[in-house]
Structure 1
Amino acid sequence: MTSTIDRLHKLLNLGSKLFSELSLNEVTFKATPKKWSKKEILGHLIDSAINNLQRFTEIQFEPKPYTIKPYNQNGLVIANDYQNSELSELVNIWLALNHRISKLMALQTKATLNYEITLGDGTISDLKFLMDDYVDHMEHHIKQIQTINS
């Protein structure tokens, strides 16, 4: 789990740096009305952190296999109005949630990392997969933020 936590910290540092260097036009630019801006991608990462923090916590005491409940990604981005939110607030929320997640990751044992989960498609996996996948998902979106043209 140490390598996953290290990757998470590197992505948080990179994301913080990126958002501190981008202009308001760069973070709010939308290629099309249906495409997310960089700020909305950050909002999506906040929603992902909220949902996964709940999952990573609940699996500790819920019956196994723990069933992953999907969430409406587009609906949450719209409902939270990330496009019109203060960037510094979003960055701070994202960092705080992920520092909590990294602490929770560090508390896991070999036994807890093997807790079974059922994914939305019925596939059975484990908590370690879910935590690794969370960081992979974040990495995908940080790369997307780096490459989206404004």
Structure 2
Amino acid sequence: MNKTVYKLEGLINKGLEYISQSSETEWVQKPSPNKWSKKEILGHLIDSGINNLQRFTEIQTANKPYKIRQYKQDDLVKVNDYQHAALKEIANFWEAINNRICCVIKLQTEETLNYKIEISDGEISDLRFLMTDYVDHLEHHLNQII
């Protein structure tokens, strides 16, 4: 999982560098009324981080296979009103949650990485997949922002 940790650390640095060099104005512009602004995408990444950190830690003591609970991503972005939040606040939150996720990933062993998860309707995978998929998802959305 070292590769996943290095990738996540690199993405955090890349995101923070972009945030520090960009204006608030570009963060609130929406490509269309139905699309998220960059700020809302970052907020979605916070929500994803919160949900996945909970998954990564709960699986340690839960019955296996651990059942993934879905979350309503559009509703969370609206309820948290990321569009009107201060960019510095949500950038700090995004950085903090992902630094914590890095720490949790580093703590995993071969045994824990093989813990079984049920993604949906009986589809079984493992914690390794879930952690790698989280980082890939973050990369996808960070590329949308940048």
Q: Is this a same-fold pair by TM over 0.5?
A: yes
Which of 130-139 and 120-129 deviates more? 120-129
Runs of at least 5 residues in structure 2 that lack an aligned partner in the other structure: none
User: 2: distance between equivalents of 1:23 and 1:80?
Assistant: 21
TM-score, L = length of structure 1: 0.96
TM-score, L = length of structure 2: 0.98
Tell me if 1:51 matches 2:37: no
Aligned residue number for residue 104 of structure 2: 104
Aligned residue number for residue 15 of structure 1: 15
User: 2: distance between equivalents of 1:118 and 1:99?
Assistant: 26
SS where residue 125 of structure 1 aligns? strand
Change (3 A) 1:32 1:121: farther
User: 1: distance between equivalents of 2:8 and 2:122?
Assistant: 27
Identity %: 57
Aligned residue number for residue 77 of structure 1: 77
Runs of 4+ in 1 over 3 A off after TM superposition: none
RMSD: 0.7
Aligned residue number for residue 39 of structure 1: 39
1:21 is displaced (CA, Å) by 1.3
Structure 2 letter corresponding to 1:82: Y
User: 2: distance between equivalents of 1:122 and 1:17?
Assistant: 41
User: 2: distance between equivalents of 1:77 and 1:33?
Assistant: 14
SS where residue 119 of structure 1 aligns? strand
Aligned residue number for residue 143 of structure 2: 143
Aligned residue number for residue 89 of structure 1: 89
User: 2: distance between equivalents of 1:44 and 1:120?
Assistant: 21
User: 2: distance between equivalents of 1:143 and 1:67?
Assistant: 29
Structure 1 letter corresponding to 2:131: M
Runs of at least 5 residues in structure 1 that lack an aligned partner in the other structure: none
String of CA shifts for 1:18-43, please: whole Å, max 9, x gaps: 11111111100001111000000000
1:142 is displaced (CA, Å) by 0.8
1:121 is displaced (CA, Å) by 4.3
Structure 2 letter corresponding to 1:143: N
User: 2: distance between equivalents of 1:112 and 1:136?
Assistant: 20
Aligned length: 146
String of CA shifts for 1:95-139, please: whole Å, max 9, x gaps: 111111100000000000000000024310000000000000000
User: 2: distance between equivalents of 1:134 and 1:108?
Assistant: 15
User: 2: distance between equivalents of 1:87 and 1:65?
Assistant: 38
